[in-house]
Structure 1
Amino acid sequence: MTRQGRSERTRHALIRSAAQSFDERGYVQAKLSTISAGAGVSTGALHFHFDTKAAVAAAVEAEATRTLYAFARTVQRQSPNALQALIDTTHVLAQQLSGDVVVRAGFRLNCQAAHRSGADLRLRWHACVTDLLTRARTQGSLAPDLPVAEPAGSIVGATVGFEVLAREDRSWLSAPSVTGLWQSLLPLLVVDASKRPEPSGTHPLTRVQHQNDGSPDRPTTR
């Protein structure tokens, strides 16, 4: 392995170890010595990559953001219509928050203004939901008299709430929980039952969630 390859491997190991520490202990209680030990390197090696704990946290957050964006792009490119794409995206979001410690820790850090280093992911998620609902309306999928802002707020509130509740009980981020949310919402969104999309998701990535609690291989971001 080249020196650059070893450096990248060490950096990724530090990010994952930091995510584990932030997830288990929170930002304040996480220690750089614990993070370096978890990655199997010295504290000096950690400081070669990151000057401060805030820099490590920013790297965790950035990696989580890249992963979520990559999955969202993959799902929305391949889902049959905008409303199904939204359903599939919520399933994959829950799956990643449950199964990938880097995504989970990065999302939580981003939700804390004191530690946020990038764009607010909750606001980006709200914009994504609003955009997909607007596209679904253009496609004729939504009830004609329903303002997009109402279901957008409910979907964002519920999905972000699942993440908070899952800190004590991971089942809140399970496929049945997300499916149940959509089973409740779809009759309000789509009047004609025959035209309602699949609440349990149709994208292959959502099917992985029904089979195991782990995270599938990450899609390429290239």
Structure 2
Amino acid sequence: MAKQERAVRTRKALITAAAEVFSREGYRTASLTVISRLAGVSSGALHFHFPTKSALALAVEEAAADRLRVIVERCEKFEQPEGPIRLVVDASYQVVEQLAADPVLRAGFELGGHTVEMGSSGRVCDLWQRWVASVLEHAQGAGGLRSEVVPGHVAGLVVAVTAGLEELGRRDPRWLAHPTLTTFWRLVLPQVAPAGTSVPLQFAGS
């Protein structure tokens, strides 16, 4: 049992270290030697768990997807009087907040352009876009969107902004501050929500 627990800890340490290095240096230039050193394990231990760098990248992406699922599931537990569109707003704040704090989620967004070549079926941006689109489709069915709005188009915009903030935030963390996203929603919500709809912004006072 102790051996299994040690293996789980080693695997988690390698995923976290790889996420930090991938996020900082990029996938192609990231060194497995640097990753193993940062994780505090030998190169042999790294290759035991992940025989190739691509296998390690896929594991990081899978871990990032799990973190994204936790975020949206946590948001779904709280029913909001403003309906599904408030759910998307709240989840977007949670995602951006975690992008600032969690290297694994950051790396998951950044790795998408590389893991598609590895046969990935769980790209984080794709998961995020599908979820946002499904919630907005529900909002439209409940009369929570303007009639001319296409949910998929809005979902694409939300994901593009999220991914863009992740990219910019790696260079300047101020991009991942709450006021940046509040400005985005103040501009977008009047264009997608029916006239007279008030959707509180979670961090509007930040």
TM range (shorter): 0.7 to 0.9
Quote the offset at 1:60 in angstroms.
Answer: 0.8
The residue aligned with 1:217 is: none
For 2:118 and 2:110, locate their aligned partners in 1 and report how far apart those are by CA, in whole Å. 9
Quote the offset at 1:167 in angstroms.
Answer: 2.6
Which moved further from structure 2: 149-158 or 10-19?
A: 149-158
The residue aligned with 1:188 is: 191
The residue aligned with 2:169 is: 166
State the Cα deviation string for residues 104-124 of structure 1 (Å, max 9, x = none).
Answer: 112211233335633233233
For 1:163 and 1:177, locate their aligned partners in 2 and report how far apart those are by CA, in whole Å. 12
The residue aligned with 1:120 is: 123
The alignment yields a C-alpha RMSD, in angstroms, of: 2.2
1:198 aligns with 2:200: yes
The residue aligned with 1:58 is: 58
Query: Number of aligned pairs?
Result: 203
Which moved further from structure 2: 157-166 or 128-137?
A: 157-166
The residue aligned with 2:16 is: 16
Contact 2:50–2:56 at 8 Å: present in 1 too?
yes
1:177 aligns with 2:173: no
Say which SS state the counterpart of residue 171 (structure 2) adopts.
coil
Structure 2: state its 5+ residue gaps. Answer: none
Contact 2:144–2:194 at 8 Å: present in 1 too?
no
TM-score, with normalisation over the residues of structure 1? 0.82
Quote the offset at 1:79 in angstroms.
Answer: 3.8
The residue aligned with 2:34 is: 34
The residue aligned with 2:88 is: 86
Quote the offset at 1:181 in angstroms.
Answer: 0.9
Contact 2:133–2:151 at 8 Å: present in 1 too?
yes
Contact 2:15–2:60 at 8 Å: present in 1 too?
yes
State the Cα deviation string for residues 96-147 of structure 1 (Å, max 9, x = none).
Answer: 2221001111221123333563323323322222211111122222223333
1:135 aligns with 2:138: yes
For 1:117 and 1:146, locate their aligned partners in 2 and report how far apart those are by CA, in whole Å. 31
Contact 1:110–1:118 at 8 Å: present in 2 too?
no
Note closer, same or farther for the CA distance 1:19–1:70 as it changes in structure 2 (3 Å cut): same
Note closer, same or farther for the CA distance 1:147–1:158 as it changes in structure 2 (3 Å cut): same
Note closer, same or farther for the CA distance 1:28–1:111 as it changes in structure 2 (3 Å cut): closer
For 1:6 and 1:180, locate their aligned partners in 2 and report how far apart those are by CA, in whole Å. 45
Give the fraction of aligned pairs with identical amino acids, expressed as a percent: 35
Note closer, same or farther for the CA distance 1:148–1:13 as it changes in structure 2 (3 Å cut): closer
Note closer, same or farther for the CA distance 1:152–1:200 as it changes in structure 2 (3 Å cut): same
Contact 1:111–1:122 at 8 Å: present in 2 too?
no
Structure 1: state its 5+ residue gaps. Answer: 211-222
